[in-house]
């Protein structure tokens, strides 16, 4: 079976043992030199002044909301086609998600739909760069700021993506990252971070990640928690960060081959294979999705669906609010399918994937 993702391929060329040995030799395992160095290096990579590392990407979203002052009575605008991760964070702080429809081409937040949502006075807008494709972040941020709303960039799938010389996580008020092992920059377990240009905002997140302490054992900020990236993961991420741009280029190369091969097929392909897209997932849209997936399974090609259930349709929250129609969101949930696309995917297997997809339509 050609896998959707391979940990062995993703970690090839990285001396994981050397990174772990640095930590073992230091005898320091939490909030030490590796974490401090990774935060500095990742901030420089993103192009932001500050980076605060955390235990996972969902904590990054939640603590970003708390640092921006979101309270239980507040509304947060977000999309509903991105796996419920942003929604989880919004519900965790007791706020209310206000769902915004997506653009029919990029599947990222649509400016016209955000405009309607801003009439509801959300405190924050979460803008997700879905599948590694950057949203129109500059225009969306400008709209939100003009309406008095802060902007969180959800960059969990877009490490290294760039528009007009600025990377994902450097445009909004605060950027949130996950380092889950399948991400473009993945740890060997959970990990996350926020980036921003406001030292005061970063200081709030640093306080929240460690119990709300102002000084050791003095809890001055409410709603703190234990959300620290450990030294082992930081050491591994530092070494992998050096290869991120190269890995993203490999992902784009595979995506470009797929796009060229599928140009004449009745499918909707990713709209870009440029630097604004880092191909975290290569996602097609087509009818007869389950028949297509079964055909690829018969050809030993793994697929997945990211994501089949829109946030406003999740059974745990039946009273979800939306700012107008979510027609493009619901359509996408019904026809998206992800194909294998990761650094280290052999050329022969790329060709097998292409042949399997084409053969479905040849019948």
Q: Are 150 and 68 in contact (CB under 8 A)?
A: yes
Residue recorded with tokens 């996580």: 169
Q: Are 110 and 139 in contact (CB under 8 A)?
A: no
Please provide residue 268's backbone torsions phi and psi, each rounded to the nearest 5 degrees.
-100, 125
Name the region of 26 (left: φ>0; alpha: ψ -120 to 50; beta: rest): alpha
Q: Are 160 and 167 in contact (CB under 8 A)?
A: yes
The domain segmentation of the chain, as residue ranges, is 7-241, 244-362
The predicted pLDDT at position 130 comes to 98
The predicted pLDDT at position 266 comes to 98
Closest CA to 143 of 323, 278, 304: 323
- Which token pair is 320? 């979800």
Q: Which residues of 27-42 are buried (b: 16+ CB within 10 A; e: fewer)?
A: eeeebbebbeebbebb
The predicted pLDDT at position 302 comes to 98
- Which token pair is 1? 């079976």
Tens digit of pLDDT per residue, the chain (363 long)?
999 999 999 898 899 999 999 999 999 999 999 999 999 999 999 999 999 999 999 999 999 999 999 999 999 999 999 999 999 999 999 999 999 999 999 999 999 999 999 999 999 999 999 999 999 999 999 999 999 999 999 999 999 999 999 999 999 999 999 999 999 999 999 999 999 999 999 999 999 999 999 999 999 999 999 999 999 999 999 999 999 999 999 999 999 999 999 999 999 999 999 999 999 999 999 999 999 999 999 999 999 999 999 999 999 999 999 999 999 999 999 999 999 999 999 999 999 999 999 999 996
The arrangement of secondary structure in 7-241, i.e. its CATH architecture, is 3-Layer(aba) Sandwich (3.40)
- Which token pair is 35? 């974490």
User: How many helices (H) and strands (E) would you count in the chain?
Assistant: 13, 14
The predicted pLDDT at position 42 comes to 98
- Which token pair is 285? 């849209």
The predicted pLDDT at position 10 comes to 87
Q: Are 303 and 1 in contact (CB under 8 A)?
A: no
* Dist CA 229 CA 213 (whole Å): 17
The CATH number given to 244-362 is 3.90.1150.10
Q: Which residues pair with 127 in a beta bridge?
A: 153
């Amino acid at each position: 079976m050609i896998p959707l993702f391979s940990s062995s391929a993703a970690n090839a060329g990285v001396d994981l043992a050397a990174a772990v040995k640095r930590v073992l030799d230091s005898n320091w395992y939490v909030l030490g030199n590796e974490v401090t160095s990774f935060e500095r290096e990742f901030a420089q990579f993103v192009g932001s002044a500050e980076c605060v590392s955390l235990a996972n990407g969902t904590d990054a979203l939640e603590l970003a909301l708390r640092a921006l002052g979101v309270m239980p009575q507040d509304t947060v605008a977000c999309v509903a086609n991105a796996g419920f991760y942003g929604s989880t964070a919004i519900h965790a702080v007791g706020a209310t998600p206000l769902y915004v429809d997506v653009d029919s081409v990029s599947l990222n937040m649509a400016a016209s739909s955000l405009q309607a949502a801003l009439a509801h006075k959300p405190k924050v807008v979460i803008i997700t760069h879905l599948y590694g494709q950057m949203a129109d972040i500059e225009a969306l941020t400008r709209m939100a700021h003009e309406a008095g709303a802060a902007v969180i960039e959800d960059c969990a799938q877009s490490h290294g993506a760039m528009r007009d010389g600025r990377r994902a996580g450097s445009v909004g008020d605060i950027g949130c990252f996950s380092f889950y092992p399948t991400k473009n920059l993945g740890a060997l377990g959970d990990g996350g971070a926020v980036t921003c240009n406001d030292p005061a905002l970063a200081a709030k997140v640093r306080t929240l990640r460690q119990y709300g302490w102002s000084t050791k054992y003095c809890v001055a900020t409410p709603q703190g928690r234990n959300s620290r990236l450990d030294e082992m993961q930081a050491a591994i991420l530092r070494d992998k960060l050096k290869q991120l741009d190269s890995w993203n280029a490999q992902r784009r190369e595979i995506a470009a081959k797929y796009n060229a091969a599928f140009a004449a097929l009745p499918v909707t392909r990713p709209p870009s294979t440029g630097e604004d897209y880092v191909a975290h997932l290569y996602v097609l849209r087509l009818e007869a999705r389950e028949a297509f997936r079964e055909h690829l399974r018969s050809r030993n090609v793994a697929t997945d669906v990211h994501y089949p259930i829109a946030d406003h349709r999740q059974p745990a929250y039946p009273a979800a609010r939306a700012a107008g129609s979510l027609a493009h969101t619901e359509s996408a949930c019904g026809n998206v399918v992800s194909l294998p696309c990761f650094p280290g995917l052999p050329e022969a297997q790329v060709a097998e994937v292409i042949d399997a997809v084409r053969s479905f339509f040849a019948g």
